[in-house]
Amino acid sequence: GENVEQHPSTLSVQEGDSAVIKCTYSDSASNYFPWYKQELGKRPQLIIDIRSNVGEKKDQRIAVTLNKTAKHFSLHITETQPEDSAVYFCADLMTTDSWGKFQFGAGTQVVVTP
């Protein structure tokens, strides 16, 4: 089953507005939460990440927040631009002493209209 749930599946915003994508995870062993952006026909690329000992991280127009108690983390994009249009994936990294694996959400198609 899906260990990372992501909402919404599609998001349409006007240029200049903010976009928020939310994810929940189920396993307490998760300790690293990256966000990837996939433009049409291209490979996913990391845009921001957060570790379990941090509550919030910001990089210019994008920010990620983490609520470990509720097992929620969110991506915030402010002042959206047309080039922000893409599919965004959240993920978590579950680790034990001997293995680790990335689990991805289903993705959010973000469309920024001029």
**CB nearer to another protein: pick between 38 and 78:** 38
Position 35 contacts another protein (CB under 8 A): no
**CB nearer to another protein: pick between 9 and 113:** 9
Three-class SS of residue 102? strand
Position 29 contacts another protein (CB under 8 A): no
* Shortest separation between residue 42's beta carbon and another protein, angstroms: 8
**CB nearer to another protein: pick between 27 and 102:** 102
Member of 11, 13, 20, 106 binding another protein (CB under 8 A): 106
Distances (CA, A) of 28 to 22, 72, 94: 18, 11, 8
Q: Which residues contact 66 (CB under 8 A, 6 or more apart)?
A: 33, 50, 52, 54, 55, 56, 72, 73
* Shortest separation between residue 16's beta carbon and another protein, angstroms: 28
Position 49 contacts another protein (CB under 8 A): yes
DSSP string, 15-57: TTS-EEEEEEE--TTEEEEEEEEE-TTS--EEEEEEETT-SEE
User: In DSSP terms, which residues pair with 27 in a beta bridge?
Assistant: none
Q: Can you give the binding site for another protein, defined by CB under 8 A?
A: 1, 6, 9, 31-32, 34, 42-46, 49, 89, 91, 93, 95, 98-107
